Structure 1
Amino acid sequence: MSKSVKSTKVKGGDKRLEQIGDDIWKNRTTKINNELFTMTYGSIVGQICREENYNYNKVNEILFNMGYNIGNRLIEEFLSISLIERCNNFKETAEVISKIGFRMFLNISPIISNWSIDEQTFQLTFEENPLAEFVELPDEYDEEEENNSSSNIKGNARGELWYSNILCGVLKGCLEMVQLECEVWFVSDVLRGDDNTSIKVKLISILRDEIPVGDD
């Protein structure tokens, strides 16, 4: 028998958010094999790279748009399972993203840091990234052509590809569906030789539901 769960008011930094995230992950989500998940995503990225002739800027764009479309739909599942009420400010939003959102879907809780003075921009740093396990990006992509001819260099993945860019799109799509227009982008990735993997989230504006002409 399922338990009745009341909606939860958010308090930034409250340990309750971690407890909610843990409870949702343990009791209210469908688990999939981590290795299968990682390999499936890797296959998708690889296929896009081949289709776009290793134009990594285009690949980044496609991954972002894929994530954006996923985020537009994923937010409904998030809200229906978490029963979280509307956040009072952007700091509370960041706490919910880290402690419940990422915990619910990826079983991780990125660290929140580097708040801007106006509290409109923050950074998420990942101690682990399930999408990137077992992954190593080459400095260059070499395609072996037939008849042992010279290789054709197609670009520098470590310098150009944001392998997990789908996460930025998901965040953008989810936030937009709750009336928060944000810019979301990777600032570092261990796959590219950086010390850590981090995403920036910047609030641009709070969107308002438009009332049709003639309605009160």
Structure 2
Amino acid sequence: MSSKTKQNLADSKKMSAELFCLTYGAMVTEMLKDYEDPKDVTIQLDKMGFNMGSRLADDFLAKNANVPRCVDTRQIADVLCRNAIPCYLGVNATVTNWSNGDRDFSIILESNPLTELVQVPPHLISAGLSYSQLIAGAIRGALEAVHFKVFASAVPESSNSNTEIRIRFDQVLKDSIPAGEDD
């Protein structure tokens, strides 16, 4: 592939990402008008993210056959930060704030593509809007698709550019593990 072709591909991906971010902002604005309560919008963003994540899990596994099967939260966090988040959001992520016997951790996104072109009013954040809950919902949906039940929430945005997604491992979903894959 020539360098010109690579540059055009990168430019079109950047334009698509910017279009998605603007569209996402407009969608959240409309949801705020429809639901009126910012907490209800956060719940809807989580549901949307969950549905996206459920579908992205299959796509991720198909494209990343070399990723080993995760058996603990440390491996889950590592795969999310090294593979999944850079692949789907195009940003770097780090794991921090381990607690509760390695059952709870935070993922810090160095930059959040959803908030690059948007400034969320502080009164909406204090009223319960979690603008980045779509990402947390997608993580929750993707992990549930691979048989890990987790609780994920976006920590309310502050003035810094980092976004924190707090994840708490709940259980392995044994009922939905295909026959022959028991551990």
Superposition TM-score, scaled by structure 2 size: 0.82
**Offset at residue 195 of structure 1 (A):** 7.5
Which residue does 1:13 correspond to in 2?
Answer: none
Say yes or no: does 1:100 pair with 2:83: yes
Q: Distance in 2 between matches of 1:210 and 1:199?
A: 26
Q: Distance in 1 between matches of 2:91 and 2:45?
A: 21
Query: Which residue of 167, 171, 179 maps to 2:139?
Result: 171
Q: Distance in 1 between matches of 2:160 and 2:14?
A: 29
Q: CA RMSD in A?
A: 2.2
* AA at the equivalent of 1:37: F
Which residue does 1:128 correspond to in 2?
Answer: 111
Q: Deviations over 1:36-78 (max 9, x none)?
A: 121011111111111112x100000000000011111110000
Q: Deviations over 1:146-191 (max 9, x none)?
A: xxxxxxxxxx31312111110111011001111101011122413x
Query: Which residue of 113, 124, 130 maps to 1:157?
Result: 124
Q: Distance in 2 between matches of 1:93 and 1:127?
A: 19
Provide closer, same or farther for how the CA distance between residues 106 and 58 of structure 1 changes in structure 2, counting only shifts above 3 A: same
Q: Flag structure 2 segments of 5+ consecutive residues without an equivalent.
A: 1-8, 178-183
Larger helix proportion, structure 1 or 2?
2
Superposition TM-score, scaled by structure 1 size: 0.70
Corresponding residue pairs, total: 165
Query: Which residue of 31, 51, 54 maps to 2:13?
Result: 31
**Offset at residue 137 of structure 1 (A):** 1.9
Q: Flag structure 1 segments of 5+ consecutive residues without an equivalent.
A: 1-26, 140-155, 212-216
**Offset at residue 194 of structure 1 (A):** 5.9
Q: Distance in 2 between matches of 1:194 and 1:105?
A: 22
Q: Distance in 2 between matches of 1:100 and 1:118?
A: 24
* AA at the equivalent of 1:180: F
Which residue does 1:70 correspond to in 2?
Answer: 52
* AA at the equivalent of 2:72: N
Give the 3-state SS of the residue equivalent to 2:114 in structure 1. helix
Please identify the structure whose Cα radius of gyration is greater: 1
Q: Distance in 2 between matches of 1:31 and 1:76?
A: 21
Q: Deviations over 1:68-89 (max 9, x none)?
A: 1111111000000011231132
Contact residue 147 and residue 176 of structure 2 kept, 8 A: no
Q: Distance in 1 between matches of 2:63 and 2:82?
A: 14
Which residue does 1:79 correspond to in 2?
Answer: 61
* AA at the equivalent of 1:172: R
